[in-house]
């Protein structure tokens, strides 16, 4: 994606060294009659963590779900506008949604491991996409994913036990392992720590720090501290609009918009 | 909001009243209402339990005897001549042989004093018409046994079998004094040294007096209603009976409305026809050696009057003799499980209906489960939500409430008349029941699929599974326990269904055990219906026995559904 296409760039700063992985322009989302997301435009840099913050119902999760077209599963949801991943319009009818979702993995708010063994949870994606042709290769893929999700040491002796038997934090890391096992380029995280205790949250945050070496991460969070801790860039959503976007430091120390200021200082939300 | 004083709303409302008499009354009323509700619940539960227990006890009490049968165990020799005088010993010859003379002779050897064709016929009628079936099969398997004496089980007729099952009918008491008969056959008179029959005679007179009383009342009622003839008739009968009852020492003629009285002496049996206090005249049913004085004799009574039972005094005499000489054997009724239906109650079995049920259920299951589950998946996961799917949904729910006989009519019109499929066949029965069960399975499967949390499907979609992969890899396996429970309950429903099967001809009398889904057959509930309609008491017993079997099947199926639900139910 060349910069020439980007016409309205609200706060393009020098802090963004890497190129934009996801580019969104004029994105509007309607749920039936409700206009949930209005005119969103953003560039998400590669191999960095971008945090979406904002009060409940502001549209940040809705926008996140547009990036891997998860909103397609909601019949009343209508998406218009332009979202590109690596310069390719993902709402192009020729795009295969399933392939897109393999490239853009997702971790959900509530840990949702399959009611199967830990091994099967991780192996499902690679098997589906033919990433391993032999059992040994598959074992290696599973081990690698679990290691990268820093779960291997805790579960390597009980891979055949159900994933639903793990603790909440472990389950969420299992879900992350499951997402990275198919080797996506982007990982979308929809409030991944909201159901976890502070210790499990800290581990996930550490993990996110490690993962940006290989992945582009977009995280939706309610916790401003979390956004400040893990992200390089932050976008603030309010009432279905993207209010302000920029380097995390700048958003938290010197926001341009009054609403951002009010939100991060705790006036509302 | 802020302009209302803080104490405002509280001041307007009265304080919560917990101490006054009115409050205490309210609390007591609430407790009373709770107690009343609980008491009503307990009453309802007890009533249900009582009814259920009554039903079960009644069915089991009536049905359990069907699992035993009584046979004669005799040494029977089948001579070569009886099969084929020219010496053939093949299966056709053995099966075609008339073994009546052989069994007749064996029975005559076991019972003394059977003279003449009529007595012979009475004796041989105690056996089932299929009594020699087992013997024939044994000879077919081992022809070298022809001509040698074989210890053989000969199945008794249903009446004889029922007699042994109702054990309380014969009483026997030692007689007083010395009894002297004046002959050994035909009609004899037994004279006693003292009035040993007095008590029995008094009982007969008392019975007459009671009957006279009843007739008098009837006469009065008829007279009040203006039925003069009937009133006069009843009054005459009543007078006659009363006269008999009043004449204390006069002889009484015993008819078939009174319990049969017999004198047992010297191994023989005399049935009393005319009774006096110390003398009785009657017919010899079983012979005794000589006409002499017997000090050791007994009064035997068949308490149920002959007019109220299907078996004569003579037959009882034979059967009692056979039992006393150890020739009668009670054994497990394997035939009930190995043979098809029959006009003879003792030969009728449940196997035809069981196999028919199995075939029918197989057809139903094979049709219902794939169609029902796939329809549920399509409606729940793939179909667009629009007017047409709404219409389909409403109709499926309505179909579940359609009376089953309507499905029978549908089956008759479409499968039999239009597609020309065979009548009475499990194929058609299965098709009709599949229609009946389909809505149940679709509804249960949809509920099971709906109860799988969407997060599981989202997780699968999130790693790049297609909608179909997500459904078949994750949603469906998680829904399987619910689907299986629904299927089993639907099949249990189909198992007990009778009405639609009557319409497609599965109500026919079918002797052969069906070998394929196109053979004519019947099913368990229809077999119960058929048997319950027959007059023979033995068939009534078979009805109860078949009901027990069906209840066992239903119980097992429902238990399986519960176990599956308990084992695999997942809390999300």
**Domains along the sequence of chain B with CATH:** 68-156 (no CATH), 167-305 (no CATH), 351-568 (1.10.3720.10)
- CB < 8 Å to B464, chain A: 98-99, 101-103, 105, 125, 128-129, 182
Q: Does residue A174 belong to any structural domain of this protein?
A: yes
* Residue with tokens 């326990």, as numbered in its chain: B481
Chain A residues whose CB is inside 8 A of the B455 CB are 108, 110, 112
Angle between helix axes A118-128 and A135-148 (nearest 10 degrees) is 110
Query: Which chain B residue lies closest to A175 (C-alpha atoms)?
Result: B459
Contacts of A75 in chain B (CB under 8 A): 384-385
pLDDT reported for residue B228: 85
Sheet holding A77-85, edge to edge: A34-45, A20-31, A77-85, A88-89
Q: How far does the CA of residue A211 sit from the closest CA of chain B (Å)?
A: 17
Q: Give me the phi and psi of A219, to 5 degrees please.
A: -125, 130
Please state the φ and ψ torsions of residue B458, each to the nearest 5 degrees.
-60, -40
Q: Residue A217: beta bridge partners?
A: A49, A187
The predicted-structure confidence for B221-242, as pLDDT tens digits, reads as follows 888 888 888 888 888 888 888 8
Query: Inter-chain contact A105–B453, Cβ cutoff 8 Å?
Result: no
Percentage of residues in chain A with pLDDT exceeding 70? 93
A28: left (phi over 0), alpha (psi -120 to 50) or beta: beta
Question: Is A237 domain-assigned?
Answer: yes
pLDDT at site B58: 92
The answer to whether B464 contacts A99, with C-beta atoms less than 8 Å apart, is yes
SS3 for A185? coil
**Among B414, B434, B436, CA closest to B361:** B434
pLDDT digits (tens, 9 = 90+) for A110-120: 999 998 899 99
Tell me: pLDDT of B362 over 90.
Answer: yes
Q: Are B200 and B186 a contacting pair, CB within 8 Å? A: no
Q: Please report which helix (H) or strand (E) contains residue B253, including its range.
A: strand B252-253
**Any bridge partners for residue A49, and if so which?**
A217
Q: What is the pLDDT of residue B469?
A: 93
User: Would you say residue B299 has pLDDT above 80?
Assistant: yes
> If you write DSSP's letter for every residue of A197-259 in order, what string do you get?
-HHHHHHHHHHHHHHTTT-EEEEE-S-HHHHHHH-SEEEEEETTEEEEEEEHHHHHHS-SSHH
**φ and ψ at A146, to 5 degrees?**
-65, -35
> Has residue A15 been placed in a domain?
yes
Using the beta-carbon criterion (under 8 Å), do A112 and B459 form an inter-chain contact?
A: yes
Q: Residues A16-44: pLDDT tens digits?
A: 456 788 999 999 999 988 998 999 999 99
Confidence of residue B571 (pLDDT cuts 50, 70, 90): low
Of residues B428, B436, B396, the one with CA closest to residue B411 = B428
User: For chain A, what percent of residues have pLDDT higher than 90?
Assistant: 47
Q: Chain A interface, mutation test: which of B448, B461, B463, B476, most A Cβ atoms within 10 Å?
A: B463
Q: Which two tokens stand for residue B66?
A: 């069907």
d(Cα B172, Cα B161) in Å, to the nearest integer?
A: 21
Categorize the per-residue pLDDT at B368 as very low, low, confident or very high, splitting at 50, 70 and 90. very high
- pLDDT of B11: 57
Most confident of A252-266, B31-45, B118-132: B31-45
Residue B261 pLDDT exceeds 70: yes
Distance, CA of B361 to CA of B429 (rounded, Å):
9
Q: What pLDDT is stored for residue A10 in this prediction?
A: 42
Residues of B in contact with A73 (CB under 8 A): 457-458, 461, 467
Q: What is chain A's length?
A: 269
Domain span at residue A184 reads 3-264
pLDDT of residue A16: 46
Neighbours of B314 (CB within 10 A): 17
pLDDT-based confidence at residue A187 (cuts at 50, 70, 90): very high
Q: How far apart are CA A220 and CA A223, in angstroms?
A: 9
Residue A139, phi then psi, degrees to nearest 5? -55, -40
- Residue B557 predicted with pLDDT over 70: yes
CA angle B212, B213, B218 (to 5 degrees): 95
Dihedral angle sign, alpha carbons of residues B240, B241, B247, B253: positive
Mean pLDDT of chain A: 87
pLDDT in tens, B237-248: 888 888 888 887
Asked whether the beta carbons of B283 and B273 are under 8 A apart, the reply is yes
Two tokens, residue B464: 């790049």
What pLDDT is recorded for position B356? Answer: 92
Give the whole-angstrom CA distance, residue A222 versus residue A209: 18
Host H or E run for residue B271 = strand B268-275
Position A177 scores a pLDDT of 93
pLDDT tens-place string over residues B154-172 = 999 988 888 888 765 788 8
- A14-28, A140-154, B109-123, B519-533: least confidently modelled range: A14-28
Reported pTM: 0.80
In a domain, A8, yes or no: yes
The token pair at B272 is 């009393």
The answer to whether residue A269 sits within a structural domain is no
CA proximity to B536, closest of B208, B158, B131: B158
Cα–Cα distance, B435 to B420 (Å, whole number): 18
In this prediction, residue B9 has a pLDDT band, given cuts at 50, 70 and 90, of low
Contact A62, A68 (CB under 8 A): no
Residue with tokens 């009519």: B409
Cα distance between residue B116 and residue B161, in whole Å: 25
Going by C-alpha positions, the residue among A264, A266, A249, A269 that lies closest to residue A11 is A249
Q: Are strands A104-107 and A186-190 parallel, antiparallel or unpaired?
A: parallel
Q: Work out the burial of residue A10: count CB atoms within 10 Å of its CB; fewer than 13 is exposed, 13-18 middle, 19 or more buried.
A: middle
Task: Calculate the CA A78 to chain-centre distance.
Answer: 21
Question: Residue A11 — very low, low, confident or very high, per pLDDT cuts 50/70/90?
Answer: very low
A114 contacts: CB under 8 Å, gap ≥ 6? A120, A121, A124, A163, B456, B459, B460, B474
| H or E segment and range at residue B307 | none
Q: Distance (Å, rounded) from C-alpha A202 to C-alpha A230?
A: 10
Q: Which of B461, B474, B570 sits opposite A101 (nearest CB)?
A: B461
In sequence order, the 6+-apart residues with CB closer than 8 A to the CB of A177 are A121, A122, A145, A146, A148, A149, A151
**Contact of B338 with B349, CB cutoff 8 Å:** yes
Asked if residues A204 and A109 have their Cβ atoms less than 8 Å apart, the reply is: no
Point out which residues pair with B447 in neighbouring strands: none
pLDDT for the residue numbered B449: 94
Contacts of A266 (CB under 8 A, 6+ apart): none
Retrieve residue B404's tokens.
Answer: 């089953």
CA angle B320/B323/B329 to nearest 5° reads 140
For the record, the structure tokens of A45 come out as 């840099």
Helix (H, G, I), strand (E, B) or coil at B179: strand
pLDDT for the residue numbered B172: 84
Please state, rounded to an integer, the average pLDDT across all residues of chain B.
Answer: 87
In a domain, A181, yes or no: yes
Query: What are the tens digits of pLDDT across the range B372-425?
Result: 999 999 999 998 888 999 999 999 999 988 999 999 999 999 999 999 999 889
B571 touches chain A (CB under 8 A): no
Question: Domain of A187: which CATH number?
Answer: 3.40.50.300
Residue B169 CA to residue B262 CA, distance in Å, equals: 13
Mean pLDDT of B141-146: 85
- Domain membership flag for residue A100: yes
d(CA B260, CA B302) in angstroms, rounded, equals 5
Q: Mean pLDDT lowest for which of A20-24, B2-6, B63-67, B496-500?
A: B2-6
Q: What is the pLDDT of residue A131?
A: 86
Task: Count structural domains, chain A.
Answer: 1
Chain A residue with minimal CA distance to B385? Answer: A75
Give the tens place of pLDDT for each residue, A127-152.
998 888 899 999 999 999 999 888 99
Determine whether the interchain pair B461/A105 forms a contact, defined as Cβ–Cβ distance below 8 Å.
no
Interface of B with A in 466-485 (CB under 8 A): 466-467, 469, 473-474, 477-478
Name every residue in A having a CB less than 8 A away from some CB of B: 68, 70, 73, 75, 98-99, 101-103, 105-108, 110, 112-115, 124-125, 128-129, 175, 178-179, 181-182
Band (A266; pLDDT cuts 50, 70, 90)? confident
Tokens of B550: 């069906």
């Amino acid at each position: 994606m060349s910069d020439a296409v980007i016409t309205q760039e609200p706060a393009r700063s020098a802090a963004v060294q890497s190129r934009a992985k996801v580019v969104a322009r004029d994105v509007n989302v309607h749920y039936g009659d409700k206009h949930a997301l209005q005119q969103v435009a953003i560039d998400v840099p590669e191999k960095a963590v971008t945090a979406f913050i904002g009060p409940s119902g502001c549209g940040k999760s809705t926008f996140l779900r547009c990036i891997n077209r998860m909103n397609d599963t909601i019949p009343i949801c209508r998406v218009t506008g332009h979202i590109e991943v690596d310069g390719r319009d993902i709402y192009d009818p020729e795009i295969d949604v399933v392939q897109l979702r393999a490239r853009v993995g997702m971790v959900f708010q509530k840990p949702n491991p399959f009611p199967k063994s830990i091994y099967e949870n991780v192996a499902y994606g690679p098997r589906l996409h033919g990433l391993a042709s032999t059992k040994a290769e598959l074992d290696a893929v599973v081990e690698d994913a679990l290691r990268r999700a820093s779960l291997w040491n805790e579960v390597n002796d009980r891979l055949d036990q159900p994933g639903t038997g793990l603790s909440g934090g472990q389950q969420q890391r299992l879900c992350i392992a499951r997402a990275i096992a198919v080797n996506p380029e982007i990982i979308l995280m929809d409030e991944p720590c909201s159901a976890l205790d502070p210790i499990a949250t800290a581990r996930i945050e550490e993990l996110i720090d490690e993962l940006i070496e290989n992945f582009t991460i977009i995280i939706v969070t309610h916790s401003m501290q979390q956004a400040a801790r893990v992200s390089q860039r932050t976008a603030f959503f309010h009432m279905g609009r993207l209010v302000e976007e920029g380097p995390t430091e700048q958003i938290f120390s010197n926001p341009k918009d009054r609403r951002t200021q009010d939100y991060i200082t705790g006036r509302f939300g | 909001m802020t302009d209302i004083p803080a104490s405002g709303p509280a001041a307007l409302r009265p304080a919560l009243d917990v101490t006054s008499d009115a409050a205490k009354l309210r609390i007591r009323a609430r407790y009373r209402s709770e107690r009343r509700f609980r008491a009503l619940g307990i009453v309802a539960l007890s009533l249900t339990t009582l009814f259920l227990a009554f039903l079960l006890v009644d069915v089991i009490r009536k049905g359990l005897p069907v699992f035993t049968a009584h046979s004669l165990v005799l040494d029977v020799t089948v001579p070569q001549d009886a099969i084929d005088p020219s010496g053939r010993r093949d299966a056709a010859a053995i099966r075609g042989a008339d073994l009546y003379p052989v069994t007749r002779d064996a029975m005559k050897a076991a019972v003394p004093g059977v003279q003449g064709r009529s007595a012979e016929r009475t004796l041989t009628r105690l056996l089932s018409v299929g009594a020699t079936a087992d013997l024939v099969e044994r000879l077919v398997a081992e022809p070298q046994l022809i001509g040698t004496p074989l210890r053989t089980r000969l199945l008794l007729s249903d009446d004889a079998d029922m007699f042994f099952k109702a054990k309380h009918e014969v009483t026997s008491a030692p007689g007083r004094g010395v009894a002297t008969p004046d002959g050994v056959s035909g009609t004899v008179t037994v004279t006693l040294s003292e009035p040993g029959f007095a008590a029995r005679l008094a009982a007969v007179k008392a019975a007459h007096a009671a009957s006279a009383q009843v007739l008098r009342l009837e006469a009065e009622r008829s007279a009040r209603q203006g039925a003069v003839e009937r009133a006069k008739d009843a009054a005459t009968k009543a007078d006659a009976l009363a006269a008999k009852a009043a004449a204390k020492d006069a002889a009484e003629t015993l008819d078939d409305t009174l319990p049969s009285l017999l004198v047992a002496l010297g191994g023989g049996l005399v049935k009393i026809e005319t009774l006096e206090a110390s003398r009785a005249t009657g017919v010899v049913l079983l012979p005794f050696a000589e006409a002499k004085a017997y000090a050791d004799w007994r009064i035997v009574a068949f308490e149920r009057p002959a007019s109220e039972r299907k078996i004569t005094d003579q037959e009882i005499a034979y059967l009692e003799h056979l039992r006393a000489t150890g020739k009668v054997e009670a054994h497990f009724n394997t035939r009930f499980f190995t043979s098809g239906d029959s006009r003879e109650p003792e030969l009728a079995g449940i196997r035809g209906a069981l196999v028919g049920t199995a075939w029918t259920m197989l057809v139903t299951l094979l049709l219902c489960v794939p169609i029902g589950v796939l329809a549920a998946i399509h409606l729940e996961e793939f179909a667009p939500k629009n007017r047409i799917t709404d219409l389909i949904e409403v109709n499926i729910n309505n179909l579940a409430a359609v009376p089953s006989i309507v499905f029978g009519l549908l089956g008759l019109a479409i499968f039999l008349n239009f597609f020309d499929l065979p009548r009475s066949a499990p194929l058609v029965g299965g098709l009709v029941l599949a229609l009946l069960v389909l809505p149940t399975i679709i509804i249960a499967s949809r509920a099971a699929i709906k109860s799988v949390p969407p997060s599981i499907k989202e997780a699968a979609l999130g790693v790049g599974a297609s909608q179909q992969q997500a459904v078949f890899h994750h949603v469906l396996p998680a829904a399987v326990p619910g689907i299986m429970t629904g299927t089993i309950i639907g099949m249990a429903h189909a198992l007990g269904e009778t009405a639609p099967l009557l319409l497609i001809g599965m109500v026919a009398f079918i002797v052969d055990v069906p070998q394929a889904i196109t053979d004519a057959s019947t099913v368990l509930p229809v077999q119960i219906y058929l048997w319950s309609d027959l007059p023979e008491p033995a068939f009534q017993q078979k009805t109860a026995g078949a009901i027990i079997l069906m209840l066992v099947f239903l119980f097992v199926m429902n238990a399986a559904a519960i176990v599956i639900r308990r084992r695999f139910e997942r809390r999300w």
